[in-house]
Amino acid sequence: MLFTTHFLDEGDLLSDHITILSKGTLAATGTAVALKHELGGGYRVKIYTEYQFDEPKEWSSIPRRNHADHVVYNLNDSSAAATFVTRLEQLGVTDYRVSGPSIEDVFLKLSAEFNNDHTLHDDATPLTNVTSLQSEKGLELAKGRRISLGAQTWVLFRKRLTILRRNYLPYLAAVLIPIIAGGLVTLFLQGFSELSCSPEDSSSSENTVSFASLNDVLDFPAGPASQVPNALLNAVYPGLGNAIAPVASADALNAYVRSNYSRVFPGGYFIAEGGTPLFAWRGNYELTYAILTQNIMDSSLLESPIITAYQAFQRPWAPSAGDTLQFILYFGLAMSAYPGFFALYPTSERVAKVRALHYSNGIRALPLWLAYTIFDFMFVLLVSVVAIVIFTGVSSALYAPGYLFVVFFLYGLSALLCSYVVSLFVTSQLASFAFAAGMQCCFFLIYFLAYMAIITYAPTESIDSYVNYAHFTIGLVTPSGNLLRSLLLTFNEFSLLCRGNERASYPGDITVYGGPILYMTVQALLLLAFLVYYDSGYRFAFLSRKSRSQDAEESEYPDEDVYHEAQRVNDCKDELRVSHISKTYGTNLAVDRVAFGVPRGEIFALLGPNGAGKSTTISVIRGDVHPSGGDVLLENESIVKQRAAARLHQGVCPQFDAMDAMTASEHLYFYARARGVTDIEHNVEQVMNAVGLSAFRNRMASKLSGGNKRKLSLGIALIGNPSVLLVDEGSSGMDAGAKRIMWRTLAAVSSGRSLVLTTHSLEEADALGDRVGIMARRMLAIGTSDSLRRKHGDAYYVHLVHKDAPHTSDAKLAEITSWIKLNFPTASIEDRSFHGQIRFEVPNRPGSSMDDSSISVDDKKGAKATVAPTERTGISSLFEKLEASKEELGMEFYAVSQATLDQVFLSIVGKHNVQEEDYQKARMATGAWGKTKAWLQKVAHDA
């Protein structure tokens, strides 16, 4: 099997052979132990300064690095490490840590050589001491402050102007569509005159139709010949006699009409003796041709001239109503669609998590929505002005065009706010436009159909009242309904303006333009209030669900250190205090009384499996989610009661790279202005230098590499010099080299502030975290990495490779296994060994139980054989025995490593029977039923 990975511990644990590539070149290849031995940089021994002893002279040449509370010695190989720790124990030092070479050390060394960047790998600097690189002085940044509503609105307005330069097409479409539609529909206004309320102007008359008015070529089948007086017909109906086609029977008439239906005009007849006369007529002009044909037949029967004409009764429909209704329909649909474009950017901003980053870094909901509304309202105002200018320039017969202008911009305002509301709930820009534009168009057509149904079917005396009912009902919920009402009033459609024989004298009356204006004003205010309410995070108490009650087992603390930390939080003055927060979603308890404090200058790493509640906890700390119980205090400001004030003290570097259509420097300038930072130029330069982005200041954020995007997110979080920094998955998606650079950046900027780091990378937590908290819904363990190792994983892990690997015989492997059991009775050995490699673990303390304090070395290899402890085992003894028997057992390489935080983590979550999200589903799929189901599917497929 061949697999590639960025997770080096995964490669170390699973692989029998490792190959490392760099820039298309083979950098190194071999077993994990061989690579560690040859390229890993040796062993590191960490001694705490609390031990006072006279250093032997031979140690003076050993590379070392001094820290505040410990010293790290770097030994070249396992033999040197064995000699060193034996001498150390002879000096009375018993509490020390030995770190063996790792595949990550190999990777970093090779990366440094191939990239000529020796800052990636420093043989004298262990991975666990990256934090020593932080600056003592710290960044010289100005403190952020709360700025006024108007000032923050202006900052956000400027941001929209910046983005407009790079994304103007949606706004161009939003302006051109209604303006072009408005220009085209004016063709329907040619010859339009102002409608009065007199009955004559509100009716339509049809033309009178007679035989003399016919213009088509006559073709008139008639018979029998005895019943066709040609002379009479020619005299009464000039030209008809010459157009008669004689037919001898009724069947002949039918046959003639069928074969010449396109020429027969206006009809024909056959009068059988003693039978019923039969006549046919062209039926595409109501009853006109039927009447004329029957009149000709009657004249023939009576042999007497009869002159007739046809005219329909007058209808209560203005002659120009058809044209103006088309004007209203087409222009109204264009106006209904264009506000949908204003939903595109808010949707993109929300889906890309940009808005969440805004809110977490000091931006408030009211200034944001005010700025966006004002920005988009500019385009609404432009459309309204141009449309009114076009309409009044074409026709002077419009009713109160000044009020219509007010309706246009109020409609645009309320419709764009409605589009904003849609953008809160959809999942893509396309969906936001479809819903926003489609909703307004649908309501427009519903309103139009309601009016037409009332005019057509309602009793005459009730039409006016029914029309008002429809308007004040449908118009209550939709801006497009009020727009349609105003357009109908403009042309006095259906005599809506008529009060008797006079038009309404005051255009602002509630039954004229006043109703739509009032409705759309109220709609705009309510929609804006909803937007601010929804994004503010505040929820009314009666809307909150009742929390699930806890059972007795849940109310207990799982660990003594967790209990002490929970008690400490009650009285401490830490810059960040997470005070017993809980969060329930219905009956699901996502977070259960999590409590911890982070003082200034400390990095706290928060760990947990998928679905453990880390994201919910961070969301509560950020103020994005309201806790069901407990509180979060930032500089003693409550995130629950004083969210805006508390957020001034926090900076957030989210897991996602929330980038706008701006350059790296534009992002930092924007957040600096939004947070009220003084001397913006200096602060932006400081941050860009600190995170290493000075060379990319003018590059679009979307064009930055993954690592530089993470740095920009960190830089945004640092703007305003927050005392609390939240970093969520700070190095996700990076290789080991890029991670190391990011870690150094984090360590450098952590000085003087409380930093909470959530990560899935246990090595990252080990390297950066002053303290570590492991949670799965509730806090399971808390403490320093070393204290957690001593408590939950105080063991050493040994990896042996025989010189004949991968062709080592089973007998030789059995000999090594027997030697391990004899020399390390408490060791836990892999049940199976492959390709000449054996792994086993040895507890560091006498009598320690592997079941309680250590975990499986390699889940892939299976279970291990465990022997009851009989004697004390130490690291010096381990090294001595391995060195003494190395040649005898034929071992080519061996590597000794301390328990990693990964192993401690697995031990803790395993002890508490914690399962990852969707684990049970996966287990069921591979259980008895899952296997049976798979077998049945295979049988069905083969059949």
Both 783 and 803 in one domain: the answer is no
- 847 vs 329, more confident: 329
Average pLDDT for residues 492-521, to the nearest whole number? 88
User: 178 and 238: one domain?
Assistant: no
pLDDT at 866 over 70: no
**Those residues with Cβ within 8 angstroms of residue 137's Cβ, 6 or more apart along the chain or in another chain:** 751
Residue 870 has pLDDT above 80, yes or no: no
pLDDT band (50, 70, 90) for residue 138: low
Can you tell me the distance from the alpha carbon of 7 to that of 12, in angstroms, rounded to the nearest whole number? 9
CA angle, corner 750, sides to 746 and 755, nearest 5? 95
Q: Are residue 240 and residue 285 in the same domain, yes or no? A: yes
pLDDT at 241 over 50: yes
Confidence band (pLDDT; 50, 70, 90) for 926? very low
Lowest-confidence pick of 308-312, 542-546, 898-902, 911-915: 542-546
| Averaged pLDDT for residues 778-796 | 85
Residue 511 tokens read as: 């039954």
C-alpha span between 49 and 68 (Å, rounded): 8
Distance, CA of 552 to CA of 575 (rounded, Å): 32
Q: What is d(CA 561, CA 908) in angstroms, rounded to the nearest whole number? A: 13
Query: Between these two residues, 683 and 118, which has the higher pLDDT value?
Result: 683
Read out DSSP for 580-637? EEEEEETTEEEEEEEEEEE-TT-EEEEE--TTSSHHHHHHHHHTSS--SEEEEEETTE
Tell whether 488 is covered by a domain: yes
Do residue 742 and residue 666 come from a single domain? yes
When pLDDT is averaged across residues 96-102 and rounded to a whole number, the result is 80
Q: Give the mean pLDDT of 746-766.
A: 84
* 635 and 780 inside one domain: yes
| pLDDT mean across residues, the chain | 81
pLDDT at 314: 57
Indicate whether 774 and 844 sit together in one domain: no
Residue 930: pLDDT band with limits 50, 70, 90? low
Residues 329 and 305 in one domain: no
Question: What does the alpha-carbon distance between residue 134 and residue 751 come to, in Å, rounded to a whole number?
Answer: 7
Task: Locate all alpha helices (DSSP H) within 824-868, ordered by sequence.
Answer: 850-853
What integer is the mean pLDDT of 904-932?
A: 62
What whole-number percentage of the chain has pLDDT above 70?
84
Q: Is the residue at 159 inside a domain?
A: no
User: Would the pLDDT of 862 be above 60?
Assistant: no
Interval 40-67: pLDDT, tens: 888 888 887 766 777 888 888 888 888 7
Nearest one of 623, 559, 539, 557 to 593, comparing CA atoms: 557
Range with the largest mean pLDDT of 260-274, 570-584, 856-870: 570-584
Domain count, the chain: 5
State yes or no: pLDDT of 490 exceeds 70: yes
Same domain (yes/no): 717, 830 = no
In this structure, are 827 and 770 located in the same domain? no
Other CB atoms within a 10 A radius of the CB of residue 699 amount to 16
Q: pLDDT tens for residues 349-373?
A: 999 989 988 988 888 999 999 999 9
The predicted model gives 481-487 an average pLDDT of: 94
Report if residue 512 sits inside a domain. yes
Q: What is the dihedral of CA 158, 163, 168, 170, to 10 degrees?
A: -100
Q: Are 768 and 130 in contact (CB under 8 A)?
A: yes
Would you say residue 894 lies in a domain? yes
Choose the final residue of a domain: 133, 148, 182: 133
Q: Strand 603-607's sheet: what is its strand order? A: 650-653, 724-728, 754-758, 603-607, 771-776, 778-783
Confidence of residue 318 (pLDDT cuts 50, 70, 90): low
> How far apart are the C-alpha atoms of 391 and 328, rounded to whole Å?
12
- Domain boundary (729, 757, 788) is at 788
Q: Can the peptide bond before residue 507 be classed as cis, meaning omega within 30 degrees of 0?
A: no
**Which residues are 757's β-sheet partners?**
605, 727
Tokens of 189: 């206004």
Rounded distance, CA 108 to CA 49, Å?
29
- Looking at residue 199, its pLDDT comes to 58
Looking at residue 121, its pLDDT comes to 45
In a domain, 444, yes or no: yes
Given a cut of 70, is residue 733 above it in pLDDT? no
Percent of the chain with pLDDT strictly greater than 90: 29
How far is the C-alpha of 455 from the C-alpha of 452, rounded, in Å?
Answer: 5
- Residue 13 above 60 pLDDT? yes
Tell me which residue range forms the domain holding 719.
560-788
Distance CA 677, CA 145 (A): 7
The domain that contains 741 carries what CATH number?
Answer: 3.40.50.300
Looking at the structure, tell me whether residues 61 and 127 fall in a common domain: yes
At 834 the pLDDT is: 66
Choose between 791 and 486: higher pLDDT: 486
Separation of alpha carbons 879 and 78, rounded Å: 7
The pLDDT of residue 205 is above 80: no
pLDDT tens for residues 761-771?
A: 888 888 888 89
Give me the amino acid identity at 321: A
The pLDDT assigned to 848 comes to 43
Q: Quick one: 776 and 843 in the same domain?
A: no
Residue 195: pLDDT band by 50, 70, 90 thresholds?
Answer: low
Residue 425 above 90 pLDDT?
yes
The conformation of residue 231, written as its DSSP 8-state character, comes to: H
Q: Give me the sign of the Cα torsion angle 379, 381, 386, 391.
A: positive
As a whole number of angstroms, the distance between CA 943 and CA 148 comes to 74
- Is 70 inside a domain boundary? yes
Which two tokens mark 422?
């849609």
On the question of pLDDT at 128 being above 70, the answer is no
545 or 817: which leads in pLDDT? 817
Distance CA 749, CA 725 (A): 10
Look up the CATH number of the domain holding residue 819. Answer: 3.30.70
The full DSSP string for 450-474 is HHHHHHHHS-GGGHHHHHHHHHHHH
Q: 653 and 606, same structural domain?
A: yes
pLDDT over 70 (residue 136): no
Q: Are 201 and 342 in contact (CB under 8 A)?
A: no
Cβ(795)–Cβ(907) below 8 Å: no
Residue 800 lies in a domain: yes
Does 810 reside within a domain? yes
**pLDDT by residue (tens digit) across 886-902?**
888 888 888 887 777 88
Of 366, 407, 48, 338, whose CA–CA distance to 173 is shortest?
A: 338
Least trusted range by pLDDT, from 191-200, 498-507, 541-550, 824-833:
541-550
Per-residue pLDDT, 832 = 66
